[in-house]
Structure 1
């Protein structure tokens, strides 16, 4: 893996800061620098090695992970989605394998129901907890920024989605818990159906740069995305779930630019894309699925 630029290290500093439990002022005070200096490092000014070591220790990550040497392991959803945002902001092409379509292609209503289902799925002791609410708001803000950047830049995208997962989504509805009144469940199922109808629209209209394949057989349980930039490619493996029974609290995400990992996952994308339904055939399959779920 090639040596990273100070700008890339700055990206990682920002992502880990956002995912930490400390404010900017607390981080600066604990490592003995000014808040302005911390922001300069995030923008690409190279920090001293001892400063990086202190930051890594404070964030509870290894120095190689902080510097992006080898594999980045990220246990915070905020940090993980921020790293995705940073990579998407510089990517020319994305290959996406998630259970549903990429979050970047979802409707604005998706964000509304995602927030509701995340909060209603919290354990009782975290319901209304200020720190938990703040972290959920931070996750949603990063996700919203990801979608905003995608709409501005429009990198090309190859997106593989599972027909089985889309059907499960429609049958359960956009929910975070099982014990909801029937009228609420009907509303959430309608919201899920609206998202699948949006996928049908994308399949039929085929927007420039967006290719969607619907898989009707078994699919990998691991969610991953490949970011292709002019000078490098990066693979991310995600433990998080953004649909019915969402999870943005627990898991360890991974990012790597290791050639073997990239090649193996690209081979998987190529193989699955060849088997996927596309265009009108995919749209007809989903339309029949909607009728069967009513």
Structure 2
């Protein structure tokens, strides 16, 4: 097995960001220079002794850093940084990730995201200050992901769930159990605008974007497949943005194993065959909007 130092460096950076430690602190705690830490993260050769020390410090297995097994990722910061790295080189991205695909979401959604994530952290949560600081880092990473996508425009295949869309329209973008009625109306209005954004996206049929709407039940766990030439990477995640967000609890996984990728590609193929597309998908979403509007006692404009 050839050692891919650049990939090791990417994982090192992601897990360091997830740990909340600066390069200076990492260097001090394992007895190397800050410059050495940055060199390692850029993909320069790292001695196995230093790599073992970094793995112990970052509370990650050496196998995960080397990329010889599944990457297990308990930190949303680490996970979204790894997505940023994968997206920066992917030619195609297949997305099944809740009602809203982050890369295709509107600017309005992006502007509201930080507030939504922070309100999802309960007042009595363990390590609340650390989690709020993590959200600042997550938002920075997400902005960078969006910039990279707009600059590169890889092909995106996005699968959406009609069930998730209805739940989003009914509850709105909320990160806590109870929201004042006036505020709830604004959250629902924001969700409605986001669904209209996706209707417009579907109807405009932009080059490089394919959207499929599933009317049946979908897996609750989101996943993405990144294709770069002949190379494929699968990510599976419990972390959610937007509707009922979760950036606190769960373990994501990233793998290049052929069995896992083939099984998930089979799921994608089946869902894509069953999905509504184009004008049919847009009309179905409009019907969902009208139905939820009637539930709420008003007609949307």
Q: TM-score, normalised by structure 2?
A: 0.94
Report how far residue 112 of structure 1 moved. Answer: 2.6
Secondary structure at the residue paired with 1:80?
helix
The equivalent of 2:103 in structure 1 is: 104
Q: Counterparts of 1:21 and 1:287 in 2: how far apart (Å)?
A: 43
Flag structure 1 segments of 5+ consecutive residues without an equivalent.
Answer: none
Q: Counterparts of 2:3 and 2:279 in 1: how far apart (Å)?
A: 44
The equivalent of 1:213 in structure 2 is: 212
The equivalent of 1:240 in structure 2 is: 239
Superposed CA RMSD in Å reads: 1.5
What is the correspondence of 1:181-192 to structure 2 with a 5 Å cutoff? Answer: 181-192=180-191
What is the correspondence of 1:127-206 to structure 2 with a 5 Å cutoff? Answer: 130-206=129-205
**2:16 aligned with 1:17:** yes
Q: Counterparts of 1:281 and 1:141 in 2: how far apart (Å)?
A: 36
Bigger shift: residues 200-209 or 118-127: 118-127
Secondary structure at the residue paired with 1:214?
strand
Secondary structure at the residue paired with 1:90?
coil
Q: Counterparts of 1:35 and 1:128 in 2: how far apart (Å)?
A: 27
Report how far residue 97 of structure 1 moved. Answer: 1.1
**2:109 aligned with 1:114:** no
Q: Counterparts of 1:261 and 1:218 in 2: how far apart (Å)?
A: 21
Q: Counterparts of 2:127 and 2:47 in 1: how far apart (Å)?
A: 41
- Give the conservation status (yes or no) of the 8 Å contact 2:222–2:236: yes
Given the superposition, is the C-alpha separation of residues 248 and 86 from structure 1 closer, same or farther in structure 2, using an over 3 Å criterion? same
Given the superposition, is the C-alpha separation of residues 163 and 35 from structure 1 closer, same or farther in structure 2, using an over 3 Å criterion? same
Given the superposition, is the C-alpha separation of residues 286 and 4 from structure 1 closer, same or farther in structure 2, using an over 3 Å criterion? farther
Q: Counterparts of 2:195 and 2:246 in 1: how far apart (Å)?
A: 20
The equivalent of 2:268 in structure 1 is: 269
Aligned length: 293
Q: Counterparts of 2:204 and 2:24 in 1: how far apart (Å)?
A: 49
- Give the conservation status (yes or no) of the 8 Å contact 2:237–2:251: yes
Q: TM-score, normalised by structure 1?
A: 0.96
Q: Counterparts of 1:228 and 1:19 in 2: how far apart (Å)?
A: 25
- Give the conservation status (yes or no) of the 8 Å contact 2:156–2:209: yes
Secondary structure at the residue paired with 1:125?
coil
Given the superposition, is the C-alpha separation of residues 117 and 157 from structure 1 closer, same or farther in structure 2, using an over 3 Å criterion? same
Q: Counterparts of 2:129 and 2:173 in 1: how far apart (Å)?
A: 24
- Give the conservation status (yes or no) of the 8 Å contact 1:96–1:224: yes
Flag structure 2 segments of 5+ consecutive residues without an equivalent.
Answer: 294-301
Secondary structure at the residue paired with 1:141?
helix
1:169-189 CA distances to partner (integer Å, 9 max, x unpaired)? 111000011321111000000
1:109-163 CA distances to partner (integer Å, 9 max, x unpaired)? 2123222222222211359954332111001111111111111101101111101
Q: Counterparts of 2:123 and 2:51 in 1: how far apart (Å)?
A: 38
**2:94 aligned with 1:95:** yes
The equivalent of 1:38 in structure 2 is: 37
1:182-227 CA distances to partner (integer Å, 9 max, x unpaired)? 1100000011111100110111001100000000011111200000
Q: Counterparts of 1:210 and 1:101 in 2: how far apart (Å)?
A: 14
